[in-house]
Chain A
Amino acid sequence: MRLSDFVQHLINAFSLGGIYALIAIGYTMVYGILRLINFAHGDIFTYGIYFAFYGVTLFMFPWWLSFITAIFFTAFLGALIERIAYRPLRNAPRISALITAIGVSFFLQNFATVVFGGRAKSFNPQTGMYPVYFLKILKLGDVRIRLVTLITLSIVAVSLLVLVWIVYKSKVGMAMRAISKDIPTTRLMGVNADRIISYTFMIGSSLAAIGGILWAMTYPQVYPYTGMVPGLKAFISAVVGGIGSIPGAMLGGFILGVSEIMIVALFPSIAGYRDAIAYVILIFVLLVRPTGILGVEVSEKV
């Protein structure tokens, strides 16, 4: 492989990894606080794309306004799901919560089929979804990159910086970190745990929406099951990085994105197995470090 090809693949890999990282953060934040695998997160991602799609086609918003409203609506959807389906089960056995989460995911997919239709909708600039010049190809020497890849990378970077600021510098973030350690004690400190959990879902869901819109710009269509594969892979990223850890989710996302693109680029003969690469990495990492790369060892309670 020539160096320019390598650089080209690497940039694509990072933009894919960045999208995985954005979604993975939603999984990891919810798990960190509630110890719940939010199976519906991949479908929240899908809804983010749908909201953006309908903002443009139904309400005739300009693309940027439509994207912003989509992010808001998705955040609201995430909080709504938590309020209706997860909050009543907070003290229930974890398996009930997990099954409910699978149920919510199933519901969102089928609801989308009924309401939005099962056929794929095209999310490309020709339908006014985003400006055509996003698809322009930039040439830096021998390296050819689509502008949309660079935009993806920079939006991912900005979102991650904002997230880090929220979690590590703001008061809400401080409360989130406290809750993930110990909910009852944090409540005693005068923190409204329910509200903080809602915020967590909002932040996670809006990151999923951002990831979804960026995903749809690269793979320009949306259908009810769009979020399944990226959702699963992002989920695996979160586990690989150490579920519950935000830096872990980012690391896991990039590891997965880079290895997926690079393995396919280096060994085109196994390109069909692309979706299996993530699982192989997952099982390998779990066997070596059962709590993920940056995960905390949990001691067994006796």
Chain B
Amino acid sequence: MSKRLSVKTKTILTILFVILMALLITVADKKASDYVVLILNLIAINIIFAVSLNLINGMTGIFSLGHAGFIAIGAYTSVLLTLPIEQKEITYLIKPLISPFNRIELPFLPAILIAGLVSAGFGYLVAAPSLRLIGDYLAIATLGLGETIRVIANNAWSITNGALGLKGIPSYTNLYWSWGWALITVVAIASLVSSSYGRALKAIREDPIAAKAMGINVFSHQVMSFVIGSFFAGVGGALWAHLITTIDPKSFAFVRTFEILIMVVLGGLGSITGSIIGAAIYTVGLEFLRVLESPFKIWFINYPGVPGMRMVVLSVLLIVLMLFWQRGIMGRNELSWDSIVSIFAKLKRGGKR
């Protein structure tokens, strides 16, 4: 057996790791091309989405398919708060924006926080009635909910500018914002999961009835998990909107939830580090697959480049993944300093033989 690291060593290692990451991000912010910065931002935002969905789906066992809806709420709320007043006057052509939003222009941080809180509040409103449902029915209800939010966004012209969407969003999101929030998300959810609350959530996932018998208030725990998950989905939505700078209802279709689900499943349902890895691999992989959509030549075969091909490959990958490797990269395990050390120890021993 390998020796376990002391708490002190682990804390130091973690702090060093965070500092290292911060340095890397500073360097990237100064030196890297716009394209690389965009990808790095997307990775961070996808980490926020994946980790928050994993709290709901993987840790608590509520199979929610409404994440895109909460992302939409976060995105729209923050944009309504930060969009410059002149821009609002230009954008809302068909119906003017309702008061008080037409007079508000807030800085980014309060807008993000309010976006998260509105999303969380909505999560609470939804969770309370729909968590009475179990299993597949809950999945269906949340799917319906996410789609309803999209339909409303498509039609509430005086708030969301309907199908035209919102343009000219100030591009506040940079690497510090996105990775900062990714760090907050991961720390918050990881400490929640390792607390007694987290153990209760896992007990509910394994067997709600047994958990109830042990005196856990299943309902309130599930609601809490759902609300926290929707808070971070809202935050991620706000960051995403201020990165892309245009949003419309189509950006929050069911496909969005589905993509996040792939990240979570790829990384391992129920593993936070897994979700981080999954989000990173998915985001970067999607970019690599762009090759398939541009023409190239292998030996004498000309490949014309087919638009849409990468999505085909991606969905085949997901199916193959589910058929042969259901547990994903991490399963339910976490990548911790202990496990890294033991991996290195194993490699060393293997080398000696």
The interface of chain A, by Cβ under 8 A from chain B, is 35, 37, 85, 88-89, 92-96, 98-100, 102-104, 106-107, 110-111, 113-114, 118, 232, 235-236, 239, 243, 272-273, 275-276, 278-280, 282-283, 286-287, 290-291, 300, 302
Closest chain-A Cβ to B99's Cβ sits at a distance in Å of 22
Q: How far is the CA of A176 from the CA of B47 in the complex (A)?
A: 44
Q: How far does the alpha carbon of A111 sit from the alpha carbon of B326 in the complex, in Å? A: 23
Closest B residue by C-beta to A236: B144
Residues A118 and B307 in contact in the complex (CB < 8 Å), given A89-B323, A92-B326, A280-B148: yes
By beta carbon, the residue of chain B nearest A87 is B323
Q: Are A290 and B133 in contact (CB under 8 A)?
A: yes
Show 10 residue pairs from A and B whose CB-CB distance is below 8 angstroms, ordered by the A residue. Answer: A85-B319, A100-B323, A103-B318, A106-B311, A110-B312, A118-B307, A232-B143, A236-B140, A276-B148, A282-B141
The answer to whether A275 touches B151 (Cβ under 8 A) is yes
Interface bits B55-78 vs A (CB < 8 Å: 1, else 0): 000000001000000000000000
Asked if A273 contacts B319 (CB within 8 A), the reply is no
Contact present for A95 and B63 (CB under 8 Å): yes
A37 to B65, CA, bound (A): 13
Considering the complex, give the chain A residue whose CB is closest to the CB of B65. A102
CB-nearest residue of chain A to B154: A272
> What B residues does A302 contact at CB under 8 A?
209
Q: Which residues in B have their C-beta under 8 angstroms from that of A287? A: 129-130, 132
Q: How far is the CA of A280 from the CA of B129 in the complex (A)?
A: 13
CB neighbours (8 Å) of A273 from chain B are 151-152, 155
Interchain CA distance A239-B140 in the complex, whole Å:
8
Per the 8 Å Cβ criterion, residues 284-320 of B in contact with A are 306-309, 311-312, 314-316, 318-319
Residues of chain B within 8 A (CB-CB) of A118 are 307-308
Q: Which residues of A contact B261 (CB under 8 A)?
A: 99, 102
Which of A89, A110, A232, A275 lies in contact with B322, CB distance below 8 A? A89
Give every chain A residue within 8 A of B258 (Cβ-Cβ).
102, 106
**How many Å lie between the Cα of A280 and that of B133 in the bound state?**
15
When chains A and B are docked, how far (Å) is the Cα of A118 from the Cα of B151? 23
Q: Which residue of B lies closest to A292 (CB)?
A: B137
**A283-B130, A283-B144, A291-B137 given as contacts; is B311 within 8 A of A85 (CB)?**
no
User: Does chain A have a CB within 8 A of B206?
Assistant: no
> CA A8 – CA B3 in complex, angstroms?
79
Question: Closest 3 interchain pairs by CB?
Answer: A107-B315, A279-B144, A110-B311
Residues in B114-145 with C-beta less than 8 Å from chain A: 129-130, 132-137, 139-141, 143-145
B112 within 8 A of A: no
Contacts of A110 in B (CB 8 A): 308, 311-312, 314-315
Which chain B residues in 199-216 approach chain A with CB under 8 Å? 209
Closest to B57 in A: A95
Please, how many angstroms separate the alpha-carbon atoms of A94 and B138 in the complex? 14
A100 in contact with B209 given A95-B269, A279-B148 (CB within 8 Å): no
**Of the candidates B133, B147, B155, B209, which one forms a contact with A272 in the assembled complex, judged by CB atoms under 8 Å apart?**
B155
B136 to chain A, nearest CB (A): 6
Using CB atoms, name the residue of chain B closest to A301. B209
In the bound assembly, the distance between CA atoms of A91 and B155 in angstroms comes to 43
Q: How far is the CA of A130 from the CA of B24 in the complex (A)?
A: 63
Is B306 within 8 A of A114, CB to CB? yes
Q: Which residues of B contact A279 (CB under 8 A)?
A: 144-145, 147-148, 151
Instruction: Give A300's nearest chain B residue, CB to CB.
Output: B209
With known contacts A118-B308, A275-B147, A275-B151, A239–B137 Cβ distance under 8 A: yes
Contact A283 B152 (CB under 8 A): no
Q: Across the interface, do A96 and B326 meet the contact criterion of CB distance under 8 Å?
A: yes
Q: Of residues A114, A243, A273, which shows the largest number of chain B Cβ atoms within 10 Å of its Cβ?
A: A114
Could you give, for residues 221-239 of chain B, a 1 whenever the CB lies within 8 Å of some chain A CB and a 0 otherwise? Answer: 0000000000000000000
Separation in Å of the B226 CB from the closest CB of chain A?
Answer: 15
Q: Give chain B nearest CB distance to A221 CB in angstroms.
A: 19
Interface: B265 (CB within 8 A): yes
The CA of A113 and the CA of B255, in the complex, are separated in Å by: 15
A100-B323, A102-B258, A279-B147 as given contacts; A114 in contact with B309, CB under 8 Å: yes
Which listed residue (B134, B137, B265) contacts A99, Cβ 8 A?
A: B265
- Extra contacts, 18 of them, besides A92-B326, A283-B144 (Cβ < 8 A), are A37-B140, A89-B323, A99-B265, A100-B322, A103-B319, A103-B322, A107-B316, A113-B307, A118-B308, A235-B140, A272-B154, A275-B147, A276-B152, A279-B151, A282-B141, A282-B144, A286-B130, A286-B133
